[in-house]
């Protein structure tokens, strides 16, 4: 592995700055008018695409149709980039089948934006190795950072066992998610070097303890809080809307696209990040709306 729909309306004009789409916006949020410029991003999580029968509340074969709706919305709104927050595919019994499922769903997702980012979920690397998943979506690194429109973004990878070994080839338990020491060291250095405000993307949750949370989440939060720069963490994994603010950092767990039958049971969103540090999340279908000062 290599290291290195909607609750508010918006009238806008778009322009480019530092290669990123910015919006000069007049927005209505809960009856209040919000004016300003924002960097718009698109978000989706837990698609679990697979060619298999429904299991419980998961309707695997409906994901492609749900994603097509989200992609159409992203094309309409033209975010600067889009992020898939993990579990793009579900686990398969063979490498070849899982690679096929990955190719199928990424063929749809890749039309959403030329600038795309993929967070590794535990199902992404159940049968596949990290190198195989990343190669399948045309990416090199599982954790990294980048800058758009004056905001610094961090993609984390918690698909490591407690002993530091990376997930892959059915060698892991989904409850054993960790940010290893090397990645933590990189994160602290990256945050220290970041020139502006920071937004973090993760799959496993960082805002508590339990089976859906990163085991050393408290240590990761210490790094995020200590930087004094992190505005929000967007995460998935537990499939339900949730929001917690911990020591000034907003943790938004987004609704899974896979849960429930029919397009009304999808979930995806956009987030507008303003120069003053406020963030407006516009949810579609089951995804909730948020506005954070």
Cβ partners under 8 Å of residue 75, min gap 6 = 111, 112
pLDDT one-digit tens code per residue, 17-49: 444 444 443 343 332 223 346 999 999 999 999
pLDDT of residue 37: 66
Does pLDDT of 12 surpass 80? no
The model's pTM: 0.88
pLDDT of residue 8: 31
pLDDT one-digit tens code per residue, 106-165: 999 999 999 999 999 999 999 999 999 999 999 999 999 999 999 999 999 999 999 999
**What architecture (CATH level 2) is domain 41-269?**
4-Layer Sandwich (3.60)
pLDDT of residue 181: 98
> For the chain, what is the mean pLDDT?
90
Sheet hosting strand 144-148, strand order edge to edge: 144-148, 151-155, 198-201, 230-235, 249-253, 242-246
pLDDT of residue 66: 98
Cβ partners under 8 Å of residue 50, min gap 6 = 60, 61, 63, 89, 90, 91, 92, 101
Three state DSSP letters for the chain: CCCCCCCCCEEEEEEEECCEEEEEEEEEECCEEEEEEEEEEEEECCCCECCCCCECCECHHHHHHHHHHHHHHHHHHCCCEEEECCCCECCCCCHHHHHHHHHHHHHHHCCCCCCEEECCCCCCCCCCCHHHHHHHCCCCCCCEEEEECCEEEEECCCCECCCCCECCCCCCCCCCCCCCHHHHHHHHHHHHHCCCCEEEECCCECCCCCCCECCCHHHHHHHHHHHCCEEEEEECCCCCCEEEEECCEEEEECCCCCECCCHHHCEEEEEEECCCCCEEEEEEECCCCEEEC
pLDDT of residue 293: 87
């Amino acid at each position: 592995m290599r290291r290195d729909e909607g609750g508010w309306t918006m009238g806008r004009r778009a322009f480019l700055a530092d290669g990123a789409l910015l919006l000069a916006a007049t927005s209505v949020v809960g009856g209040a008018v919000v004016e300003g410029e924002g960097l718009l991003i698109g978000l989706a999580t837990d698609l679990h695409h697979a060619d298999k029968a429904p299991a419980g509340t998961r309707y695997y074969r409906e994901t492609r149709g749900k994603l097509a709706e989200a992609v159409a919305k992203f094309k309409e709104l033209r975010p600067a980039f889009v992020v898939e927050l993990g579990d793009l595919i579900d686990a398969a019994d063979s490498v070849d089948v899982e690679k096929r499922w990955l190719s199928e769903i990424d063929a749809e997702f890749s039309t959403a934006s030329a600038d795309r980012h993929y967070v590794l979920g535990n199902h992404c690397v159940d049968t596949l190795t990290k190198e195989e998943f990343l190669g399948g979506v045309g990416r090199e690194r599982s954790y990294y950072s980048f800058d758009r429109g004056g905001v610094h973004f961090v993609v984390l990878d918690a698909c490591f066992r407690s002993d530091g070994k990376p997930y892959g080839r059915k060698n892991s338990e989904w409850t054993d998610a960790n940010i290893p020491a090397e990645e933590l060291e990189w994160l602290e250095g990256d945050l220290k070097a970041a020139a502006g405000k920071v937004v973090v993307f993760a799959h496993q949750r960082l805002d508590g303890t339990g089976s859906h949370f990163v085991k050393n989440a408290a240590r990761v939060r210490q790094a995020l809080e200590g930087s004094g720069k992190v505005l929000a963490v967007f995460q998935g994994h537990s499939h339900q809307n949730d929001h917690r603010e911990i020591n000034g950092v907003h943790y938004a767990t987004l609704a899974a696209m896979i849960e429930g039958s029919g397009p009304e049971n999808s979930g995806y969103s956009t987030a507008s990040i303003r120069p003053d540090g406020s963030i407006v999340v516009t949810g579609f279908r089951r995804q909730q709306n948020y506005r954070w000062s």
